């Protein structure tokens, strides 16, 4: 076999043989190209041997460039086509996955909004009936309890005189949606502190405590281990009518609803709000179900959610951290006289406090605090047995028989005591109010005082805004509201949480000393009693005063331990008392917000007073 040297490709330095060209081990593409070229008569400088049919060899001149380049071109085209096909497939897969992920994210976002009580406003036609944005409503209020009814009357009240310009402005047009407009029956929200009554006067609602057999409350009486002390509200600087009030909650709320309904621009409707309507981060209104079962949508520039402690809408407007430290077991004692007339009574019982206060001229409310969330069952009689054997012996003798009679009567009710610091998520077009926004232990009866004080702040902030459709101004005022309310609300909240923990019976010796010292400190009289009672009543809601009195109790406890002679044990116990006191109050202050509570003027978004128009 003769070798044929490819002369035209000096850079390749390629040599081959006839046998190699016809080898079955060559690439199919190369072999096919070679077979096609064997029938081609081309003039070239390279000679390849070719066998004729008669078996004789004959040199055929074919182009070496053609033999080598043709398969290379086809191979390059194959690689290029494969590359573009793969690239197209990758792009297609990416687009499909992105589209699927976007749909999933949208679904998750919608599901999350639904879980938080939000529904996106669709631009398309919706089967749900709609009242248009130009319906003329300024404010939608969800809930008509103490906060909702008071706010409806306050915002809807006509002829507000702006003394700076002698300008009279009509009230806002308010639509209130309440789940049940019949008279409610609750075992809490029955004691209004003097500070709350002053706010009621400021809102023009003081007549709502009349004609409902409400009782004046002039202070508290504390009972512990057979001892007692009386604490009077510091009311010397106020009119004779100013005092606390206790009543049936349902009667009080119904009076406020009736008064709000007398205003022509306030409408009360029975219905259940299922969600807030949201568009681009702004709440536009509500979706609700009417009493007849129809689904409707209602729009307004401002939606105020005050649907109570069991709110299902708060998650869209705040970060709720609800704690349930205990449960109240409620009874009504009939035809009995409390040891101190016109006073609330607190019994420092074991394991936790018992409250007694009049709610009418012939009825006394008794609330037995049961720590934790596990209660003796009522149905099988275990609760009645617990009340008779464990609680009754600690009740003041004057009302013990009435207490046992109420237990035997069987009308025992329970209510979880919830605590939730205010942690709002500022949302244009909406805000929270009342127990849906902020809760504290009901031991001190401060809930209604906080709600009414919040309404006064909100009224003053909204007053200079001519149109609530001014979204930018409205958002700034709402943000200021969350700060302006803090000094009053945080003082009452912190006192309620701290006092409940101090009044709890404990096996810890330091806690026991703190409990004993608190009772004795309040029994000293003078500023030691008037100061804490002024805080409790809402007459002096100053956070710094609260902290000073709280640690004064702790120092008083340490001082007693040092008498008559200090010892290593007493020093150690005193240190534990201070540590225990710090462990009680500082977490509550932290949850309320140190800066907003003690340094509200350092917050830039705060409006000190409503700006003049």
Q: Does residue 335 sit in the same domain as residue 426?
A: no
Q: Is 242 domain-assigned?
A: no
Of the ranges 36-45, 105-114, 217-226, 511-520, which one carries the lowest mean pLDDT score? 36-45
Q: Does residue 514 sit in the same domain as residue 497?
A: yes
Residue 162 maps to which CATH number? 3.50.50.60
pLDDT of residue 19: 40
**In this structure, what are the phi and psi dihedrals at residue 128, rounded to the nearest 5 degrees?**
-75, 130
Q: Does residue 433 sit in the same domain as residue 301?
A: yes
508-564: pLDDT as tens digits: 999 999 999 999 999 999 999 999 999 999 999 999 999 999 999 999 999 999 998
Q: Does residue 282 sit in the same domain as residue 430?
A: yes
Q: Is 159 domain-assigned?
A: yes
Helical residues (DSSP H) of 485-526, grouped into ranges: 486-503, 509-523
How far, in Å, CA of 207 to CA of 201, rounded? Answer: 8
Q: Does residue 428 sit in the same domain as residue 367?
A: no
Where do the DSSP E strands lie in 240-322? Answer: 244-246, 266-279, 282-290, 295-299, 302-305
> What is the pLDDT averaged over residues 300-323?
93
The full DSSP string for 177-231 is: EES--SPP--SSS-EE-HHHHHHHHHTT-GGGGTTTT-EEE-EEEEEETTEEEEE
Q: Is 126 domain-assigned?
A: no
Q: Does residue 508 sit in the same domain as residue 585?
A: yes
Q: Is 197 domain-assigned?
A: yes
Q: At residue 43, does pLDDT exceed 80?
A: no
The count of C-alpha atoms lying within 13 angstroms of the C-alpha of 493, restricted to the half-sphere facing its C-beta, is 28
Task: Give the residue from 446, 464, 484 where a domain finishes.
Answer: 484
The full DSSP string for 464-480 is: T-S-TT-HHHHHHHHHH
How far, in Å, CA of 314 to CA of 63, rounded? Answer: 86
| DSSP symbol at 126 | -
Task: Give the residue from 115, 149, 179 where a domain finishes.
Answer: 115
* Residues in contact with 84: Cβ distance below 8 Å, sequence separation at least 6, in sequence order: none
Reported as a pLDDT band with limits 50, 70 and 90, residue 11 is very low
What's 541-576 look like in SS3? CCHHHHHHHHHHHHHHHHHHHCCCCCCHHHHHHHHH
Q: Is 507 domain-assigned?
A: yes
Q: Does residue 335 sit in the same domain as residue 430?
A: no
Neighbours of 11 (CB within 10 A): 5
Q: What is the largest CA-CA distance in the chain?
A: 139
Q: Does residue 30 sit in the same domain as residue 84?
A: yes
With beta carbons less than 8 A apart as the criterion, state whether 332 and 365 touch: yes
Q: Does residue 287 sit in the same domain as residue 337?
A: no
Q: Is 122 domain-assigned?
A: no
Q: At residue 6, does pLDDT exceed 50?
A: no
Residue 368 maps to which CATH number? 3.30.9.10
Q: At residue 174, does pLDDT exceed 70?
A: yes
Reported as a pLDDT band with limits 50, 70 and 90, residue 330 is very high
Reported as a pLDDT band with limits 50, 70 and 90, residue 26 is very low
The pairing of strands 266-279 and 282-290 is antiparallel
With beta carbons less than 8 A apart as the criterion, state whether 436 and 303 touch: no
> What is the pLDDT averaged over residues 363-378?
95
The number of domains in the chain is: 4
Q: Give the end-to-end CA distance of the chain in Å, rounded to a whole number.
A: 111
Q: Is 328 domain-assigned?
A: yes
How far, in Å, CA of 386 to CA of 371, rounded? Answer: 13
Q: Does residue 172 sit in the same domain as residue 260?
A: yes
pLDDT of residue 586: 97
Q: Does residue 83 sit in the same domain as residue 32?
A: yes
Cis peptide before 501, with omega less than 30 degrees from 0? no
Q: Does residue 310 sit in the same domain as residue 196?
A: yes
How far, in Å, CA of 355 to CA of 346, rounded? Answer: 5
Q: Is 57 domain-assigned?
A: yes
Domain that holds residue 175: 133-212+247-321+420-484
Task: Give the residue from 431, 465, 484 where a domain finishes.
Answer: 484
With beta carbons less than 8 A apart as the criterion, state whether 364 and 336 touch: yes
With beta carbons less than 8 A apart as the criterion, state whether 396 and 345 touch: yes
How far, in Å, CA of 289 to CA of 313, rounded? Answer: 15
């Amino acid at each position: 076999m003769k070798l044929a040297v490819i002369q035209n490709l000096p850079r390749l330095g390629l040599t081959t043989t006839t046998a190699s060209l016809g080898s079955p081990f060559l690439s199919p593409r190369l072999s096919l190209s070679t077979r096609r070229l064997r029938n081609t008569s081309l003039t070239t400088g390279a000679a390849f041997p070719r066998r004729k049919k008669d078996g004789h060899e004959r040199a055929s001149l074919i182009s070496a460039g053609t033999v080598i380049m043709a398969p290379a071109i086809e191979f390059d085209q194959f690689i290029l086509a494969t590359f573009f096909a793969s690239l197209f497939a990758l792009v297609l897969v990416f687009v499909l996955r992105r589209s699927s992920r976007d749909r999933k994210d949208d679904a998750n976002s919608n599901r999350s909004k639904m879980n938080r009580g939000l529904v996106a406003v669709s631009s398309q036609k919706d089967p749900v009936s709609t009242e248009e944005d130009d319906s003329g409503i300024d404010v939608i209020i969800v809930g008509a309890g103490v906060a909702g009814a008071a706010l409806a009357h306050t915002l809807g009240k006509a002829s507000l005189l702006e003394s700076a310009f002698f300008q009279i402005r009509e009230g806002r047009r308010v639509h209130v949606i309440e789940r049940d407009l019949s008279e409610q029956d609750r075992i809490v929200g029955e004691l209004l502190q003097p500070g709350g009554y002053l706010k009621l006067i400021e809102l023009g609602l003081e007549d709502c405590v009349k004609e409902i057999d409400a009782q004046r409350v002039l202070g508290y009486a504390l009972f512990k281990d057979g001892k007692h002390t009386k604490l009077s509200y510091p009311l010397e600087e106020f009119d004779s009518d100013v005092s606390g009030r206790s009543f049936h909650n349902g009667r009080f709320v119904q009076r406020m609803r009736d008064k709000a309904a007398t205003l022509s621009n306030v409408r009360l409707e029975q219905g259940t709000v299922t969600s807030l309507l949201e568009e681009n981060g702004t709440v536009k209104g509500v979706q609700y179900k009417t009493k007849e079962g129809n689904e409707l949508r209602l729009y307004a520039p401002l939606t105020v959610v005050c649907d109570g402690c069991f709110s299902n809408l708060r998650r869209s407007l705040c970060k709720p951290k609800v704690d349930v430290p205990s449960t109240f077991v409620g009874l009504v004692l009939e035809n009995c006289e409390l040891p101190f007339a016109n006073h609330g009574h607190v019994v420092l019982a074991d394991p936790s406090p018992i409250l007694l206060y009049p709610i009418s001229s012939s009825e006394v409310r008794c609330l037995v605090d049961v720590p934790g969330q596990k209660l003796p069952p009522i149905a099988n009689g275990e609760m009645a047995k617990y009340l008779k054997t464990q609680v009754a012996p600690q009740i003041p003798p004057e009302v013990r028989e009435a207490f046992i009679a109420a237990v035997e009567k069987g009308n025992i009710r329970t209510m979880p005591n919830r605590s939730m610091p205010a942690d709002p998520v500022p949302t244009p077009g909406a805000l929270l109010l009342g127990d849906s926004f902020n809760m504290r232990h009901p031991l001190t009866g401060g809930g209604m005082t906080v709600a009414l004080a919040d309404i006064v702040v909100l009224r003053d902030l909204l007053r200079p805004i001519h149109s609530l459709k001014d979204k930018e101004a409205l958002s700034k005022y709402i943000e200021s509201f969350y700060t302006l309310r803090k000094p009053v609300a945080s003082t009452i909240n912190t006192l309620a949480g701290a006092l409940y923990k101090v009044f709890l019976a404990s096996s810890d010796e330091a806690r026991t000393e703190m409990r004993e010292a608190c009772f004795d400190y309040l029994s000293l009289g003078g500023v030691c009693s008037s100061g804490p009672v002024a805080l409790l009543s809402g007459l002096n809601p100053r956070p710094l005063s609260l902290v000073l009195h709280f640690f004064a109790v702790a120092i008083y406890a340490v001082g007693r331990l040092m008498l008559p002679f200090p010892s290593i044990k007493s020093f150690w116990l005193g240190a534990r008392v201070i540590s225990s006191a710090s462990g009680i109050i500082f977490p509550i202050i932290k949850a309320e917000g140190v800066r907003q509570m003690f340094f509200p003027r350092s917050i830039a978004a705060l409006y000190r007073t409503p700006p003049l128009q």
